[in-house]
Amino acid sequence: GAGVSQSPSNKVTEKGKDVELRCDPISGHTALYWYRQRLGQGLEFLIYFQGNSAPDKSGLPSDRFSAERTGESVSTLTIQRTQQEDSAVYLCASSLYSGGAGELFFGEGSRLTVL
């Protein structure tokens, strides 16, 4: 079975443009997470989806950031009016279980560079 798939793997954009990042989780995984990783840093939680429940958006850094997920399938993270500080690797992960000691399976990330 395929792992978590993210696209694009690399994106270079100009300041002020909108970008959309896509995540295709492992089939059957109900939980989906987005994290941001700046150069040399750990992972910063952005948003969490669990089935049809309301997402936990508490980690989104500003209203320029939004994310959607249709059911238990693909998720998209949208950044509007990108700024240079948005440059980072955006990692998506999925999990079979939402809590306890469940393992997160990560994609390879989408590297965003804002010029």
Partner 1 sequence: TQLLEQSPQFLSIQEGENLTVYCNSSSVFSSLQWYRQEPGEGPVLLVTVVTGGEVKKLKRLTFQFGDARKDSSLHITAAQPGDTGLYLCAARGGSGGSNYKLTFGKGTLLTVNP
Binding site for partner 1 (CB under 8 A): 4, 31, 33, 35, 40-45, 48, 50, 56, 91, 93, 98-101, 103-104, 106-109
- Do residues 24 and 88 touch, judged by C-beta distance below 8 A? no
The minimum distance between CB 15 and partner 1, in angstroms, equals 25
Nearer to partner 1, 80 or 108 (CB): 108
Q: How far apart are the first and last CA of the chain?
A: 37
The minimum distance between CB 45 and partner 1, in angstroms, equals 6
- Tokens (6 digits) for 107: 């994609």
Residue 77 has a CB neighbour count (10 Å cut-off) of: 24
The minimum distance between CB 19 and partner 1, in angstroms, equals 19
The minimum distance between CB 49 and partner 1, in angstroms, equals 10
Nearer to partner 1, 14 or 40 (CB): 40
Nearer to partner 1, 80 or 111 (CB): 111
Nearer to partner 1, 71 or 100 (CB): 100
Q: How far is CA 65 from CA 26, 43, 81, 105, in A?
A: 24, 17, 9, 23
Query: 88-95 and 19-24: which strand pairing?
Result: unpaired
